[in-house]
Chain A
Amino acid sequence: MGSWGIIEMGAPLVPRSTQIFLFLRPWVLPVLLLTLLEWAARTLAPDSDAVAPPSRAFLAFGQALMVSSEEGVLRASLFTLGSAAAGLLIGLVLGVGLGTVLGLSKRAASMGFLTIEVLRPIPSVALIPLSMMVFGFGFRMEISVVAFATFWPMLILTQAAARQVEPGLIEVALALELSPWARMTKVVLPAMLARLLVALRLGVAIALVVAVTVEVAANPYGMGYALMIAQQSLAPDLMLAWLVWIGVVGYGINVLMLRLQHALSRRMGEIPQAQRA
Chain B
Amino acid sequence: MVPTELLRFEEVGIHLGGREILSPTQFSVTRGEFVCIIGPSGCGKTTLLRAAAGFVQPSTGQVRCNGQVVTGPTRKAAFVFQDYGRALLPWRTVSGNISLALEAAGVPTEQRAARIAKVLDTVGLGVHATKFPAQLSGGMQQRVQIARCLAQEPELMLMDEPFGALDAMTRESLQDEVSRLVQETGLTVLFVTHDLEEAIYLSDRVIALRANPSAGKPSLAAMIEVGIARPRDQLLTKEDPEFLRLRRELYGFLGHH
Contact = CB atoms under 8 A, between A and B. Distances in A.
Interface string A191-204: 10100000000000
Interface string B64-105: 000000001111011101010011011111000000110111
Interface residues of B, number: 31
A277 B137 contact: yes
Contact of A176 (B55, B93, B137, B152): B152
A175 B132 contact: no
A176 B145 CA distance: 12
Contact of B73 (A175, A187, A277): A175
A271 B105 CA distance: 29
Nearest to A271: B134
B101 A176 contact: yes
Given A269-B132, A271-B135, A175 B91 contact: no
**Overall SS of chain B's interface:** loop
Interface string B115-142: 0000000000000000011111100100
Interface stretch (A107-115, A143-151, A164-172, A246-254): A164-172
A277 B135 contact: yes
Given A177-B75, A269-B93, A182 B103 contact: yes
Contact of B91 (A167, A168, A177, A269): A269
**What DSSP secondary structure best describes chain A's contact surface?**
helix
Interface residues of A, number: 26
B36 interface: no
B53 interface: yes
A268 B91 contact: yes
Given A168-B81, A175-B73, A276-B135, A269 B104 contact: no
Contact of A174 (B73, B83, B132, B137): B73
Contact of B89 (A177, A187, A271, A275): A187
A270 B137 CA distance: 16
A277 B93 CA distance: 14
Contacts of B92: 269
A267 B81 CA distance: 26
A137 B148 CA distance: 58
Nearest to A168: B86
Nearest to B75: A177
A172 B144 CA distance: 13
Central interface residue in A168, A171, A176, A187, by most chain B CB within 10 Å: A176
Contacts of B86: 166-169
Given A168-B81, A168-B83, A176 B134 contact: no
Nearest to B50: A171
Given A171-B55, A186-B100, A269-B134, A176 B89 contact: no
B140 to A, nearest CB: 8
Nearest to A176: B104
A178 interface: yes
A174 B134 contact: no
B87 A178 contact: no
Ranked nearest first, the 5 interchain pairs of A and B with the lowest CB-CB distance are A168-B86, A176-B104, A268-B91, A269-B132, A269-B91
Given A171-B87, A174-B55, A277-B137, 19 more contacts: A166-B86, A169-B89, A171-B55, A171-B81, A174-B73, A176-B101, A176-B104, A177-B73, A178-B104, A186-B89, A268-B90, A268-B91, A269-B92, A269-B93, A269-B133, A269-B134, A270-B91, A276-B134, A277-B140
Interface of B: 53, 55, 72-75, 77-79, 81, 83, 86-87, 89-93, 100-101, 103-105, 132-137, 140, 152
22 contacts: A168-B81, A168-B83, A169-B86, A171-B55, A171-B73, A171-B87, A172-B81, A172-B87, A174-B55, A174-B72, A175-B73, A175-B75, A176-B100, A176-B104, A177-B75, A187-B89, A267-B91, A271-B135, A275-B135, A276-B134, A277-B135, A277-B136
Interface of A: 166-169, 171-178, 182, 186-187, 190-191, 193, 267-271, 275-277
